Amino acid sequence: MTLIKNKSITKTTIINRIIGKIQGVKKGPTIVFFAGIHGNEKAGVIALKKVFKEFSEETINGTVYGILGNLKALEKNQRYLDEDLNRIWTSEQLKNIPHKATLNAEEKEQKELFAVLHRIIENDSGPFYFIDFHTTSSKTLPFITINDAIINRKFSSQFPVPIVLGIEEYLNGPMLSYINELGYVSLGFESGQHEEKEAIVNCISFIYLTLAFTNAIDSSNSKDYTKYYNQLKVVSKKQDKVFEIVYLHTIKQDEIFKMKEGFKSFEDIKKKTVLATSNNQLIFSKYNAKIFMPLYQKKGKEGYFIIKEIAPFFLKLSTVLRSIKADNVLVILPGIFWENTNKNALIVNLKVTRFFAKSIFHLLGYRNKQADATHLKLYNRERVSKTEMYKDQQWY
């Protein structure tokens, strides 16, 4: 049992790991909402608690869960205690954790969450949807972050908010990346700044629209649907475009990093704009682009991201290329081969990548991670996506 407090409301809420579960009378999807993976981000927790009071078994098709993330960090209103719970969902970590004699605070939370997650997948029926609620330390429009799989793009495009692709290329071990590797629709929703009341309202709106888009509720002739849709459309300032991360400033150990005051996510920046200081040295932008999630809190290793809009033509082109599995052509070339027979990842000689623009790999659905000193490992979400599970859904 955990006490949750938020400056934007005065009431204290008592909550368990499972915030709520509604198993509808009629068949439908299984929707899993996560909140509080970071202990200082409570908007999603409060929103889910409210929404679960409003629906019942008679009004829900399928099953809806609300799951709390980092219980101990939530008690202390800290992002994390020992390490970031949203950066440890790697295959190596998950393989080793059952064999560790002692676990730190976040590893204990992860072990419980892992068990809950797989119990749901094993016992409930699809299609499955996984949503993770977050807030930011800086002012921001609400937005969606997704791993770049077509099922994620198609589902996310229903919401009137910006979509940011490619975060898996820059962050190691987010929980949603692990779930996406299992093949399911999974997306993160950043609803606003940590302590703003509007962040809670935006989460409530997003929950309602998720239930509507998955047919977990009947939204036809519903005034609520219009209200919640317009809420997100207005606060997003009609910026329902798709962006891609092109740069991340990672804060090194012992680096004294300070973000320049006043930046908001999605704010335009020019080349040579002063963005921050590192060890008292000015950091200048190398891009004409947009600043994204600048860090204005003590904990966290991501100083800021830079994003650029993706033209609709390239989004359509990538969908076509992936549907015909055009990436099969790549392995004909020297220095490029499949990691294994599952064909989930390519191994590429770094000498070869000099002749390929990064955007070519992105079009085909690949995001890179350094494998070793001489090779890159390129992951592809399309080949693991459980597309057949979603093909009959209205949004697909």
Question: DSSP of 197-263, one letter per residue?
Answer: HHHHHHHHHHHHHHHHHTTSS--TT-HHHHHHHHHHHHHTTT---EEEEEEEEEPPTT--EEEPTT-
**Interatomic CA distance for residues 161 and 154, integer angstroms:** 13
**CA pair distance 281, 303, nearest whole angstrom:** 14
Number of domains in the chain: 3
pLDDT of residue 12: 40
Based on the fold, state whether residues 53 and 195 are members of the same structural domain.
yes
Same domain, 93 and 202: yes
Quick check: is 393 in a domain?
no
Let me know if residue 212 belongs to a domain: yes
Q: Is residue 331 part of a domain?
A: yes
Please name the residue that has the structure tokens 């081969």. Answer: 337
Predicted pLDDT of residue 9:
40
Residues 170 and 138 in one domain: yes
211 and 359 share one domain: no
Quick one: tokens of 308? 């650029």
Structural domain that includes position 27: 2-235
pLDDT for position 8: 47
| β-strand pairing of 302-309 with 336-338 | unpaired
Same domain, 39 and 23: yes
Long-range contacts (CB closer than 8 Å, 24 or more residues apart) made by 16-19: 16/68, 17/67, 17/68, 17/71, 17/112, 17/116, 18/65, 18/66, 18/67, 18/68, 18/116, 19/45, 19/48, 19/49, 19/52, 19/66, 19/67, 19/68
* Residues 169 and 34 occupy one common structural domain: yes
> How far does CA 105 lie from the centroid of its chain?
22
Do 262 and 139 belong together in one domain?
no
Half-sphere exposure of 5 (CA within 13 A, CB side): 6
Determine, yes or no, domain membership for 394.
Answer: no
**Based on the number of CB atoms within 10 Å of its own CB, is 185 exposed (0-12), middle (13-18) or buried (19 or more)?**
buried
Strand partners, 129: 31, 185
Q: Is the dihedral of CA 22, 30, 239, 9 positive or negative?
A: positive
From 290, 309, 328, the end of a domain falls on 309
- Phi, psi at 82, each rounded to 5°: -105, -40
pLDDT at 371: 62
Q: Is residue 202 part of a domain?
A: yes
The string of DSSP letters for 139-159 reads ----EEEE-S-HHHHHHHTTS
Is the peptide bond prior to 98 cis by the omega test (within 30 degrees of 0)?
no
Mean pLDDT of each 10-residue bin along the chain, 396 residues long: 46 68 95 97 96 93 97 95 96 91 95 96 95 95 95 97 92 93 96 95 97 90 85 91 94 94 95 96 96 92 95 94 88 86 83 73 80 80 91 94
Residue 361 lies in a domain: yes
Q: Are 162 and 55 members of one domain?
A: yes
Residue 44 tokens read as 């999603």
The residues pairing with 31 across neighbouring beta strands, listed in sequence order, are 64, 129
* SS3 (DSSP) at 268: strand
